Amino acid sequence: MTINTKLIRDFLTTLTSSDGVSVMDYVTSIDVNDSKIQVLFEGNSDQLKTLEEIRALCESALKKQYPDWQILCALVAERKNKKQQTFESLRGIKHIIAVASGKGGVGKSTTTVNLGFALTRLGYNVGILDADIYGPSLPTMMGLSDKPDVTADKKLLPAMAHGIACMSIGLLIPADTPMVWRGPMVQGALMQLLKDVAWGELDVLLIDMPPGTGDVQLSLAQQASLSGAVIISTPQDIALIDARKGLAMFDKVEVPILGIVENMSVFMCSNCGHESHIFSHGGAKETAAQLGVPFLGDIPLTLEIRQCADAGQVIQDESSMQAYKQAAESMLANIDRYAKGAPRIKL
For residue 311, pLDDT over 80 is answered with yes
Which residue type, as a one-letter code, is found at position 92? G
As separate numbers, helices (DSSP H) first and strands (DSSP E) second, the chain gives 10, 13
Separation between Cα atoms, residue 26 and residue 242, nearest integer Å? 27
Chain Cα centroid distance, residue 313: 24
pLDDT at 346: 46
Provide the residue range defining the domain that includes 73. Answer: 5-78
Of 54, 78, 102, which closes a domain? 78
Number of folded domains that form the chain: 2
Separation between Cα atoms, residue 138 and residue 144, nearest integer Å? 8
Please state the rounded mean pLDDT for residues 313-320.
Answer: 92
Of 29, 56, 78, which closes a domain? 78
Separation between Cα atoms, residue 102 and residue 320, nearest integer Å? 24
Of 30, 48, 78, which closes a domain? 78
Report the mean per-residue pLDDT for the chain: 85
Report the first-to-last Cα separation within the chain, whole angstroms. Answer: 20
pLDDT above 90 as % of the chain? 41
Separation between Cα atoms, residue 248 and residue 189, nearest integer Å? 25
pLDDT at 46: 67
Do 331 and 292 share a structural domain?
yes
Q: Which burial class, exposed, middle or buried, applies to 289 when counting CB atoms under 10 A from its CB (0-12, 13-18, 19+)?
A: middle
Do 41 and 113 share a structural domain?
no
Do 35 and 132 share a structural domain?
no
Give the range among 49-58, 113-122, 196-205, 216-225 with minimum mean pLDDT: 216-225
Do 107 and 53 share a structural domain?
no
Residue of higher predicted confidence among 210 and 84 = 210
Q: How many CB atoms lie within 10 A of CB 164?
A: 22
For residue 5, pLDDT over 90 is answered with no
Do 189 and 61 share a structural domain?
no
Strand-pairing partners, residue 39, are: 30, 73
For 269-279, how does the pLDDT look when each residue is reduced to its tens digit (9 = 90+)?
Answer: 778 877 788 87
For 255-268, how does the pLDDT look when each residue is reduced to its tens digit (9 = 90+)?
Answer: 889 999 999 988 87
Separation between Cα atoms, residue 171 and residue 173, nearest integer Å? 6
For residue 138, pLDDT over 70 is answered with yes
Residue of higher predicted confidence among 248 and 300 = 300
- 34 in a structural domain: yes
Please state the rounded mean pLDDT for residues 312-318.
Answer: 93
Residue 115: closest CA among 197, 229, 211: 229
For residue 255, the domain's CATH number is 3.40.50.300
Q: How confident is the model at residue 322 (pLDDT cuts 50, 70, 90)?
A: very high
Q: How confident is the model at residue 3 (pLDDT cuts 50, 70, 90)?
A: confident
- 302 in a structural domain: yes
For residue 11, the domain's CATH number is 3.30.70
Residue 16: CA count within 13 A, CB half-sphere = 6
- 39 in a structural domain: yes
pLDDT above 70 as % of the chain? 91
Sheet holding 27-33, edge to edge: 27-33, 36-43, 70-78
pLDDT at 342: 42
pLDDT at 128: 97
Three-state SS for 57?
helix
Q: How confident is the model at residue 204 (pLDDT cuts 50, 70, 90)?
A: very high
